[in-house]
Structure 1
Amino acid sequence: MYEQPGQQAPSSHYAVPTPPRRKTGKTIAIVIAAVLLLCCCGGGLVLAVKPDAVSGFFKDIVEAVESNVANAKVGDCVNSFADVNDARVVDCTSAEAANRVAGVLPDKTETEFNADSACDPYPTTESAIWIGRKGGRGSVWCLEPVKK
């Protein structure tokens, strides 16, 4: 059997163009790389121009963490304070030293702290600090006066 040659549809030599692929992932990566590069250059410039400013900034952060009374250990000294938020660790030889940490009692509720017997194991205790979450647990720092 033979097909009858008839009129055939003209063949198209042109293909329908496909839409270009979006390159959003590549664009985002380039933007992130540019921002990181700018940050690194800016940080390098600050270090080159004012190296003391950066070291002073980090020194202030370290000093703030070290002087936080929540980081006090037995034997550390604490300044005189009216509010627990004003309490901070100080050098025991400084004029600010008013109290020494006699003991630290972890995992106590505020109710246990308010019972006034938490620091009984430390007879030299004259004041105490409780630091914790309201309604939760915290730690008690039993403080004795610094003898000068």
Structure 2
Amino acid sequence: MATTETMVQLARISDQPLDPAEVEAAVTGPHYGATVVFTGKVRDHDGGQAVSALEYSAHPQAERFLRTVCAELATAHGLPVAAVHRVGALTIGDYAIVVAVSAAHRAEAFAACAELVDRIKHEVPIWKRQVFADGLSEWVNACG
């Protein structure tokens, strides 16, 4: 069986545009029949308000938290995982987060991917500033 170090292929906070193909490639292999890739994009609305842009800020240790979450999930499920979260100024349609999990079967991959996204959202210290079309903004402790 693979070790946790080989199962967490990618866990990174980045100020550069994200590439879903890179994240997917990090977890694919001949042992896996299912790969689930989740992409979280900046949308043009939230809570009934028009959103014009987002800005993500991360705690200096956010990448360490991300690696820990990925390692714990990889160990618990015995599956390869990868996750990258963007920081900085993003516009509508930009990828904010990309997560991938591979498994022998789709049900395992879907469940582990959903759990990973939820854990990142709740455990990794990343904050989102939403800029609304009317010029107002708000900070939200949320990921993706």
TM-score over 0.5 for the pair: no
Structure (1 or 2) with the larger CA radius of gyration:
1
RCO comparison, higher one (Cα < 8 Å, 6+): 2
> Under a length normalisation based on structure 1, what TM-score does the superposition of the two structures give?
0.22
Per residue, is there more helix in 1 or in 2? 1
Structure with bigger strand share is 2
